[in-house]
Amino acid sequence: MDDRAWLALATELAALAPPSRTAFSVGAVIVGPDGVELSRGYSREDDPHDHAEEVALRRAPADLRDATIYTSLEPCAKRASRPRTCTDLILATGITKVVYAWREPPRFVDHPGTERLEAAGLTVVQIPDLAEAAKKPNAHLL
């Protein structure tokens, strides 16, 4: 599968997230450099405060060198519910590429992660034509 197909899967996973009035519903998939899925997750999957990237990272193998994370929403760079943001968690791994559909709107926080990820040397790709699919499970917030 290519970036677009993996990201489409992440947007589908977002629809599995229980709706919340205080957080976006997001899906995430981590893929190894060989194109094999390593893990996946969605918002609030195991805990009401879980972010999708956090779930996928928790389930991933230890070695994420040169892996890619696909997430329906730009990884958070500021967070109220936990001490580490998704951007921090991603930067602590060997992930080298982040692909997302929808840039985080300033509904809850206004600290997008793209700039921090790029400043750290990661490749960040937005596929904005999948943003509508990422927004769908969040329609109640928009």
DSSP 101: E
Residues classed as catalytic:
53
Pairing of strands 68-73, 97-102: parallel
DSSP 53: H
DSSP 28: E
76 in helix, strand or coil? strand
CA 97 to chain centre: 12
- CA 22 vs CA 8, 50, 61, 116: distances in Å: 24, 12, 30, 24
CB atoms within 10 A of CB 60: 20
